[in-house]
Protein backbone atom coordinates (compact mmCIF):
# COMPACT_ATOMS: atom_id res chain seq x y z
CA UNK A 1 0.00 0.00 0.00
CA UNK A 2 1.25 3.51 -0.83
CA UNK A 3 2.06 5.53 2.31
CA UNK A 4 0.40 8.96 2.76
CA UNK A 5 3.78 10.63 3.01
CA UNK A 6 7.48 9.96 3.06
CA UNK A 7 9.82 11.42 5.65
CA UNK A 8 12.04 13.65 3.47
CA UNK A 9 15.01 12.53 5.58
CA UNK A 10 14.61 9.07 4.05
CA UNK A 11 15.01 10.38 0.50
CA UNK A 12 18.59 9.91 -0.76
CA UNK A 13 20.52 13.19 -0.80
CA UNK A 14 23.67 14.60 -2.33
CA UNK A 15 25.81 17.71 -1.90
CA UNK A 16 25.21 20.74 -4.08
CA UNK A 17 26.98 24.04 -3.45
CA UNK A 18 27.53 23.15 0.18
CA UNK A 19 23.97 21.96 0.78
CA UNK A 20 22.37 18.56 1.17
CA UNK A 21 19.65 18.28 -1.45
CA UNK A 22 17.36 15.43 -2.49
CA UNK A 23 18.41 13.24 -5.38
CA UNK A 24 15.00 13.69 -7.02
CA UNK A 25 12.82 16.73 -7.61
CA UNK A 26 9.56 17.57 -9.31
CA UNK A 27 9.28 19.31 -12.67
CA UNK A 28 6.62 21.96 -13.18
CA UNK A 29 6.28 22.16 -16.95
CA UNK A 30 3.01 20.54 -17.93
CA UNK A 31 3.82 19.95 -21.62
CA UNK A 32 0.84 22.18 -22.55
CA UNK A 33 -1.53 19.55 -21.12
CA UNK A 34 -2.21 21.09 -17.76
CA UNK A 35 -3.12 24.56 -16.57
CA UNK A 36 -1.26 26.42 -13.80
CA UNK A 37 -3.80 25.40 -11.16
CA UNK A 38 -3.44 21.70 -11.95
CA UNK A 39 0.33 21.98 -11.81
CA UNK A 40 0.39 23.98 -8.56
CA UNK A 41 -2.13 21.49 -7.13
CA UNK A 42 0.34 18.72 -7.90
CA UNK A 43 3.15 20.74 -6.29
CA UNK A 44 1.01 21.11 -3.14
CA UNK A 45 0.39 17.38 -3.05
CA UNK A 46 4.06 16.67 -3.73
CA UNK A 47 5.20 18.86 -0.82
CA UNK A 48 2.75 17.04 1.47
CA UNK A 49 4.05 13.73 0.19
CA UNK A 50 7.72 14.55 0.83
CA UNK A 51 9.20 16.27 -2.24
CA UNK A 52 11.60 19.06 -1.35
CA UNK A 53 13.10 20.07 -4.73
CA UNK A 54 11.09 21.88 -7.43
CA UNK A 55 12.17 22.85 -10.92
CA UNK A 56 10.40 26.06 -11.96
CA UNK A 57 10.87 28.60 -14.76
CA UNK A 58 9.32 31.91 -15.66
CA UNK A 59 8.38 30.62 -19.11
CA UNK A 60 6.22 27.85 -17.62
CA UNK A 61 3.70 30.55 -16.74
CA UNK A 62 2.77 29.08 -13.36
CA UNK A 63 5.23 30.53 -10.83
CA UNK A 64 2.51 32.72 -9.34
CA UNK A 65 0.28 29.73 -8.58
CA UNK A 66 3.24 27.69 -7.31
CA UNK A 67 4.31 30.64 -5.13
CA UNK A 68 0.88 30.58 -3.44
CA UNK A 69 1.40 26.92 -2.67
CA UNK A 70 4.85 27.58 -1.14
CA UNK A 71 3.44 30.46 0.89
CA UNK A 72 0.61 28.34 2.25
CA UNK A 73 3.01 25.52 3.13
CA UNK A 74 5.29 27.94 5.01
CA UNK A 75 2.37 29.70 6.79
CA UNK A 76 0.88 26.40 7.85
CA UNK A 77 4.27 25.49 9.33
CA UNK A 78 4.26 22.40 7.16
CA UNK A 79 7.69 23.10 5.76
CA UNK A 80 10.32 25.79 6.33
CA UNK A 81 11.76 27.88 3.50
CA UNK A 82 15.23 26.47 4.05
CA UNK A 83 13.91 22.93 3.72
CA UNK A 84 12.95 23.29 0.07
CA UNK A 85 15.22 23.76 -2.93
CA UNK A 86 13.70 25.90 -5.67
CA UNK A 87 15.19 26.25 -9.14
CA UNK A 88 14.03 28.95 -11.54
CA UNK A 89 15.33 30.08 -14.92
CA UNK A 90 15.73 33.18 -17.03
CA UNK A 91 14.02 32.83 -20.41
CA UNK A 92 15.58 33.64 -23.78
CA UNK A 93 13.88 36.99 -24.18
CA UNK A 94 15.54 38.32 -21.00
CA UNK A 95 19.20 38.20 -22.02
CA UNK A 96 19.61 41.96 -22.46
CA UNK A 97 21.51 44.23 -20.11
CA UNK A 98 19.75 44.43 -16.71
CA UNK A 99 17.16 41.85 -17.77
CA UNK A 100 18.39 38.95 -15.63
CA UNK A 101 17.80 40.84 -12.38
CA UNK A 102 14.42 41.99 -13.67
CA UNK A 103 13.46 38.45 -14.61
CA UNK A 104 14.59 37.05 -11.26
CA UNK A 105 12.77 39.82 -9.39
CA UNK A 106 9.54 38.81 -11.16
CA UNK A 107 10.10 35.14 -10.37
CA UNK A 108 10.82 35.93 -6.71
CA UNK A 109 7.68 38.06 -6.50
CA UNK A 110 5.59 35.30 -8.08
CA UNK A 111 7.17 32.50 -6.08
CA UNK A 112 6.85 34.57 -2.87
CA UNK A 113 10.49 33.95 -2.05
CA UNK A 114 13.42 36.18 -0.99
CA UNK A 115 15.89 34.05 -2.91
CA UNK A 116 15.95 31.04 -5.20
CA UNK A 117 18.23 28.14 -4.40
CA UNK A 118 19.38 27.95 -8.01
CA UNK A 119 18.89 30.24 -10.98
CA UNK A 120 19.68 28.95 -14.45
CA UNK A 121 20.11 30.36 -17.94
CA UNK A 122 17.31 28.37 -19.59
CA UNK A 123 18.88 28.24 -23.09
CA UNK A 124 22.28 29.41 -24.35
CA UNK A 125 20.66 31.55 -27.01
CA UNK A 126 20.18 35.31 -26.80
CA UNK A 127 16.88 34.86 -28.53
CA UNK A 128 14.78 37.93 -28.19
CA UNK A 129 11.78 36.26 -29.76
CA UNK A 130 11.29 39.33 -31.88
CA UNK A 131 7.89 39.52 -33.57
CA UNK A 132 7.92 37.29 -36.60
CA UNK A 133 11.28 35.83 -35.60
CA UNK A 134 10.09 33.31 -33.00
CA UNK A 135 13.38 31.51 -32.57
CA UNK A 136 13.68 30.35 -36.14
CA UNK A 137 17.36 30.25 -37.08
CA UNK A 138 16.51 30.73 -40.75
CA UNK A 139 14.93 34.09 -40.06
CA UNK A 140 17.36 36.92 -40.91
CA UNK A 141 16.26 38.79 -37.75
CA UNK A 142 17.44 35.93 -35.55
CA UNK A 143 20.26 36.57 -33.11
CA UNK A 144 22.90 33.82 -33.22
CA UNK A 145 24.64 32.28 -30.21
CA UNK A 146 27.96 33.79 -29.27
CA UNK A 147 30.17 33.17 -26.26
CA UNK A 148 30.44 36.93 -25.75
CA UNK A 149 26.72 37.49 -25.49
CA UNK A 150 26.39 34.42 -23.26
CA UNK A 151 29.05 35.92 -20.99
CA UNK A 152 27.03 39.16 -20.79
CA UNK A 153 24.21 37.08 -19.34
CA UNK A 154 26.55 35.10 -17.11
CA UNK A 155 28.03 38.29 -15.60
CA UNK A 156 24.48 39.22 -14.61
CA UNK A 157 24.01 35.75 -13.15
CA UNK A 158 27.18 36.21 -11.10
CA UNK A 159 25.86 39.52 -9.83
CA UNK A 160 22.56 38.09 -8.61
CA UNK A 161 24.59 35.38 -6.86
CA UNK A 162 26.73 38.10 -5.22
CA UNK A 163 23.53 39.83 -4.14
CA UNK A 164 22.36 36.66 -2.42
CA UNK A 165 19.25 36.42 -4.60
CA UNK A 166 20.34 33.06 -6.03
CA UNK A 167 22.21 30.72 -3.71
CA UNK A 168 23.81 29.08 -6.72
CA UNK A 169 23.72 29.61 -10.47
CA UNK A 170 23.72 27.24 -13.37
CA UNK A 171 23.20 26.59 -17.05
CA UNK A 172 20.81 24.53 -19.13
CA UNK A 173 20.76 23.01 -22.60
CA UNK A 174 24.52 23.32 -23.01
CA UNK A 175 26.92 21.36 -25.17
CA UNK A 176 30.62 20.67 -24.52
CA UNK A 177 31.86 23.21 -27.12
CA UNK A 178 29.64 25.89 -25.62
CA UNK A 179 30.80 25.07 -22.09
CA UNK A 180 34.42 25.07 -23.24
CA UNK A 181 33.84 28.52 -24.69
CA UNK A 182 32.38 30.02 -21.54
CA UNK A 183 33.69 28.10 -18.49
CA UNK A 184 37.23 29.58 -18.53
CA UNK A 185 35.67 33.05 -18.49
CA UNK A 186 33.31 32.45 -15.54
CA UNK A 187 34.22 34.09 -12.23
CA UNK A 188 31.60 31.88 -10.57
CA UNK A 189 31.39 28.41 -12.09
CA UNK A 190 27.97 26.83 -12.63
CA UNK A 191 27.03 24.50 -9.76
CA UNK A 192 24.52 22.61 -11.90
CA UNK A 193 23.60 22.08 -15.53
CA UNK A 194 20.12 21.00 -16.53
CA UNK A 195 20.06 18.77 -19.59
CA UNK A 196 17.85 16.26 -21.35
CA UNK A 197 18.77 12.83 -19.95
CA UNK A 198 16.83 9.58 -20.17
CA UNK A 199 17.72 5.99 -21.11
CA UNK A 200 17.45 6.58 -24.86
CA UNK A 201 19.38 9.86 -24.62
CA UNK A 202 22.23 9.57 -22.13
CA UNK A 203 24.63 12.26 -23.41
CA UNK A 204 27.58 10.30 -21.95
CA UNK A 205 30.30 12.78 -22.94
CA UNK A 206 28.52 15.88 -21.63
CA UNK A 207 27.41 14.00 -18.53
CA UNK A 208 30.99 12.93 -17.71
CA UNK A 209 32.31 16.39 -18.63
CA UNK A 210 30.05 17.97 -16.00
CA UNK A 211 30.77 15.39 -13.29
CA UNK A 212 34.52 15.69 -13.79
CA UNK A 213 34.26 19.44 -13.18
CA UNK A 214 32.12 19.11 -10.06
CA UNK A 215 29.00 20.34 -11.89
CA UNK A 216 25.82 18.47 -10.93
CA UNK A 217 23.77 17.21 -13.92
CA UNK A 218 20.04 17.73 -13.45
CA UNK A 219 18.07 15.35 -15.67
CA UNK A 220 15.09 16.88 -17.41
CA UNK A 221 12.51 14.74 -19.18
CA UNK A 222 13.89 11.73 -17.22
CA UNK A 223 10.99 9.52 -18.33
CA UNK A 224 11.42 10.51 -21.96
CA UNK A 225 8.60 13.08 -21.66
CA UNK A 226 5.96 10.61 -22.93
CA UNK A 227 3.23 13.23 -23.32
CA UNK A 228 5.16 15.99 -25.05
CA UNK A 229 3.29 17.85 -27.77
CA UNK A 230 3.72 16.72 -31.35
CA UNK A 231 6.04 19.60 -32.21
CA UNK A 232 8.71 17.89 -30.12
CA UNK A 233 8.19 14.42 -31.54
CA UNK A 234 9.35 12.65 -34.64
CA UNK A 235 8.21 9.29 -35.91
CA UNK A 236 11.56 7.63 -35.14
CA UNK A 237 11.60 8.75 -31.48
CA UNK A 238 11.97 5.96 -28.96
CA UNK A 239 9.50 5.58 -26.07
CA UNK A 240 11.82 5.15 -23.09
CA UNK A 241 9.32 3.39 -20.87
CA UNK A 242 8.86 0.75 -23.60
CA UNK A 243 12.57 -0.04 -24.04
CA UNK A 244 13.09 -3.81 -23.54
CA UNK A 245 15.95 -3.15 -21.07
CA UNK A 246 13.70 -0.89 -18.97
CA UNK A 247 10.79 -3.30 -19.25
CA UNK A 248 12.95 -6.25 -18.15
CA UNK A 249 14.08 -4.42 -15.01
CA UNK A 250 10.51 -3.31 -14.28
CA UNK A 251 9.29 -6.90 -14.47
CA UNK A 252 12.18 -8.20 -12.36
CA UNK A 253 11.46 -5.69 -9.57
CA UNK A 254 7.68 -5.67 -10.00
CA UNK A 255 7.67 -1.88 -10.52
CA UNK A 256 6.54 0.59 -13.19
CA UNK A 257 9.02 1.37 -16.02
CA UNK A 258 8.94 5.03 -14.88
CA UNK A 259 10.43 3.92 -11.59
CA UNK A 260 13.17 2.04 -13.43
CA UNK A 261 14.09 5.20 -15.37
CA UNK A 262 14.34 7.14 -12.11
CA UNK A 263 16.36 4.51 -10.25
CA UNK A 264 18.72 4.36 -13.22
CA UNK A 265 19.04 8.16 -13.26
CA UNK A 266 19.84 8.44 -9.57
CA UNK A 267 22.22 5.48 -9.51
CA UNK A 268 24.03 7.04 -12.46
CA UNK A 269 24.55 10.29 -10.55
CA UNK A 270 21.82 12.47 -12.08
CA UNK A 271 19.14 14.39 -10.19
CA UNK A 272 15.95 13.62 -12.15
CA UNK A 273 13.06 16.10 -12.06
CA UNK A 274 10.06 14.11 -13.40
CA UNK A 275 6.74 15.89 -13.74
CA UNK A 276 3.36 14.38 -13.06
CA UNK A 277 -0.01 15.95 -12.43
CA UNK A 278 -1.25 12.69 -10.93
CA UNK A 279 -0.83 11.83 -7.28
CA UNK A 280 -0.40 8.14 -7.99
CA UNK A 281 2.44 8.87 -10.41
CA UNK A 282 4.38 11.52 -8.49
CA UNK A 283 4.14 9.41 -5.36
CA UNK A 284 5.45 6.34 -7.20
CA UNK A 285 8.31 8.42 -8.60
CA UNK A 286 9.56 9.44 -5.16
CA UNK A 287 8.99 5.99 -3.70
CA UNK A 288 11.17 4.49 -6.44
CA UNK A 289 14.22 5.83 -4.63
CA UNK A 290 13.37 4.12 -1.37
CA UNK A 291 13.12 0.66 -2.84
CA UNK A 292 15.80 -1.84 -3.94
CA UNK A 293 18.33 -0.38 -6.37
CA UNK A 294 18.82 -1.74 -9.87
CA UNK A 295 21.50 -4.39 -10.15
CA UNK A 296 24.80 -3.70 -11.85
CA UNK A 297 23.66 -5.89 -14.77
CA UNK A 298 20.43 -3.88 -15.12
CA UNK A 299 22.37 -0.61 -15.01
CA UNK A 300 24.70 -1.91 -17.71
CA UNK A 301 21.82 -3.13 -19.88
CA UNK A 302 20.13 0.29 -19.70
CA UNK A 303 23.43 2.00 -20.46
CA UNK A 304 23.49 -0.08 -23.63
CA UNK A 305 19.99 1.13 -24.57
CA UNK A 306 21.21 4.64 -25.43
CA UNK A 307 19.89 5.60 -28.89
CA UNK A 308 21.13 9.21 -28.91
CA UNK A 309 17.45 10.07 -29.26
CA UNK A 310 17.08 13.77 -28.43
CA UNK A 311 13.46 14.76 -27.89
CA UNK A 312 13.58 18.50 -27.29
CA UNK A 313 14.48 19.55 -30.79
CA UNK A 314 11.30 20.89 -32.30
CA UNK A 315 12.02 24.54 -31.64
CA UNK A 316 14.71 25.68 -34.02
CA UNK A 317 16.69 27.88 -31.68
CA UNK A 318 19.27 30.29 -32.86
CA UNK A 319 22.71 29.23 -33.91
CA UNK A 320 24.81 30.80 -36.56
CA UNK A 321 24.40 28.96 -39.81
CA UNK A 322 21.90 26.49 -38.38
CA UNK A 323 19.62 25.10 -41.04
CA UNK A 324 18.04 22.43 -38.89
CA UNK A 325 17.91 21.42 -35.26
CA UNK A 326 20.86 19.04 -35.65
CA UNK A 327 23.11 22.02 -36.34
CA UNK A 328 22.22 23.56 -32.98
CA UNK A 329 23.63 20.66 -31.01
CA UNK A 330 27.24 20.59 -32.06
N1 LIG B 1 15.68 23.06 -18.84
C2 LIG B 1 14.87 22.77 -19.83
O3 LIG B 1 15.02 23.28 -20.97
C4 LIG B 1 13.77 21.77 -19.62
C5 LIG B 1 13.18 21.17 -20.75
C6 LIG B 1 12.18 20.24 -20.53
C7 LIG B 1 11.77 19.93 -19.23
N8 LIG B 1 12.34 20.55 -18.17
C9 LIG B 1 11.91 20.24 -16.77
O10 LIG B 1 11.91 18.84 -16.59
C11 LIG B 1 10.64 18.42 -16.09
C12 LIG B 1 10.31 17.01 -16.52
O13 LIG B 1 10.37 16.87 -17.92
P14 LIG B 1 9.08 16.52 -18.80
O15 LIG B 1 7.86 16.99 -18.09
O16 LIG B 1 9.37 16.99 -20.16
O17 LIG B 1 9.12 14.94 -18.93
P18 LIG B 1 9.09 13.66 -17.96
O19 LIG B 1 9.18 14.04 -16.54
O20 LIG B 1 10.07 12.72 -18.53
O21 LIG B 1 7.66 13.08 -18.29
C22 LIG B 1 6.50 13.68 -17.78
C23 LIG B 1 5.31 12.86 -18.21
O24 LIG B 1 5.42 11.53 -17.69
C25 LIG B 1 4.21 11.11 -17.11
N26 LIG B 1 4.56 10.40 -15.86
C27 LIG B 1 5.18 10.91 -14.77
N28 LIG B 1 5.34 9.96 -13.84
C29 LIG B 1 4.81 8.83 -14.34
C30 LIG B 1 4.65 7.51 -13.83
N31 LIG B 1 5.09 7.16 -12.62
N32 LIG B 1 4.04 6.60 -14.62
C33 LIG B 1 3.58 6.93 -15.86
N34 LIG B 1 3.69 8.17 -16.39
C35 LIG B 1 4.30 9.10 -15.63
C36 LIG B 1 3.44 12.38 -16.80
O37 LIG B 1 2.09 12.18 -17.08
P38 LIG B 1 0.95 12.41 -15.96
O39 LIG B 1 0.94 13.86 -15.65
O40 LIG B 1 -0.27 11.94 -16.69
O41 LIG B 1 1.31 11.56 -14.78
C42 LIG B 1 4.02 13.44 -17.72
O43 LIG B 1 3.21 13.63 -18.84
C44 LIG B 1 9.68 19.50 -16.64
O45 LIG B 1 8.44 19.49 -15.97
C46 LIG B 1 10.51 20.74 -16.44
O47 LIG B 1 10.45 21.16 -15.09
C48 LIG B 1 13.34 21.46 -18.35
Map out the domains of the chain with their CATH numbers.
19-328 (3.20.20.100)
Task: Report how far ligand 1's centroid is from the alpha carbon of 307 (Å).
Answer: 19
Low-confidence residues of the chain: pLDDT under 70: 126-144, 229-233, 235, 313-330
CB atoms within 10 A of CB 246: 27
pLDDT in tens, 225-276: 988 766 566 767 788 999 999 999 999 999 999 999 999 999 999 999 999 9
Closest-CA residue, ligand 1 atom 48, reads 220
Give the residue numbers marked as catalytic.
Answer: 60
pLDDT at res. 134: 52
pLDDT at res. 144: 63
Q: Confirm or reject: Cβ of 63 under 6 Å from ligand 1.
A: no
DSSP characters over 236-296: T---GGG-HHHHHHHHHHT--HHHHHHHHHHHHT-EE----S-HHHHHHHHHGGGSPPPPH
pLDDT in tens, 292-304: 999 999 999 999 9
**What's the whole-model pTM score?**
0.94
Closest-CA residue, ligand 1 atom 43, reads 227
Q: Confirm or reject: Cβ of 25 under 6 Å from ligand 1.
A: no
**What is the distance between the alpha carbons of residues 243 and 141, in angstroms, rounded to a whole number?**
41
- 3-class DSSP state of 172: strand
pLDDT in tens, 164-178: 999 999 999 998 988
Q: Confirm or reject: Cβ of 34 under 6 Å from ligand 1.
A: no
Amino acid sequence: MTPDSVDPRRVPCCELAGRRIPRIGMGTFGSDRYGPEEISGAVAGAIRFGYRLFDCASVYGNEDQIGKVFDEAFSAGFVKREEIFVISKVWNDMHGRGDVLLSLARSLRDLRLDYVDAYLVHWPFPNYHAPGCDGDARNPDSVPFSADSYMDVWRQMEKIHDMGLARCIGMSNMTIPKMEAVLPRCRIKPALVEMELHPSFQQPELFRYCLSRGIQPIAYSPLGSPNRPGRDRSAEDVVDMELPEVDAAARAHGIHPAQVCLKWAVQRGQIPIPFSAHEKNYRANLLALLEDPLTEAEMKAIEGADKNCRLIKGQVFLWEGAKSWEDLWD
